[in-house]
Structure 1
């Protein structure tokens, strides 16, 4: 029987849940897998059953993060987005929720909390050396959302 593969249009901003991330990590590592393979890899650590993995795969297909290939009754799943694209999307999503004036502190916290190799530190140093600073950053929060002086009410 000939295999058929379904493809969907990939969304530029794919938001996936923590559980979906775990499934995607398996697919990015293996290149493709069926639900049973994913369950055997994640089942014990995540305490997931086959039905849970199939539900997560269905959501990922709907989000166009995963494509499927069928051969008879068996489905094989393939990542439709790269790990790099998904990390970029998640990073953009995270930073869209952070006050622009707190971006530097947030990045510093991420670095402080991360386990990094010397190569990672060199990469960060290179990125910082290439970065051109701006004189001032305008707050992008709604009034009352942050404590910056731009949003402080003045009473006379």
Structure 2
């Protein structure tokens, strides 16, 4: 995976549109986002500027309008976001948390088959227990 990308919840909404549309003007994005969130043009432009400053979107000037393009791959960005969240959980709770996520999210037959294969491979070297990796536990071992 490439460098870690920090995206706020509001910025995610814009990125989801840009990844889907492949490119858009601020006017197009405002029209779509104002219908869902009642966002004003200034809000969308502020978020686009932040994303551009972070190099997450690329801007091209076309006459008087600016066109925005995603500058980071969608799947890698999703994986970074998820791994960042998982990294904040005590590793003793990650398995149960993933189990709960799998129970709740819709999955295709192909998704399930891929997960089963991944777990089959992973189980060959998996320990029977994981140690707590919380700060308080790691300090008490020192």
Task: Give the alignment's TM-score, normalised by structure 1.
Answer: 0.81
- In structure 2, C-alpha distance between the alignment counterparts of 1:92 and 1:25, rounded to whole Å: 18
* Runs of 4+ with >3 A deviation: none
Look up the match of 1:26.
Answer: 17
Partner of residue 126 from structure 2, selected from 117, 124, 133: 133
Unaligned stretches of 5+ in structure 1? Answer: 1-10, 145-149, 152-156
Aligned counterpart, 1:147: none
Question: In the alignment, what sits opposite 1:115?
Answer: 106
Unaligned runs of 5+ in 2: none
The within-5 A match list for 1:2-151 is 12-131=3-122, 132-143=125-136
Q: Which has the larger radius of gyration?
A: 1
Question: TM-score, normalized by length of structure 2?
Answer: 0.88
More helix by percentage: 2
Root mean square deviation, CA, Å: 2.0
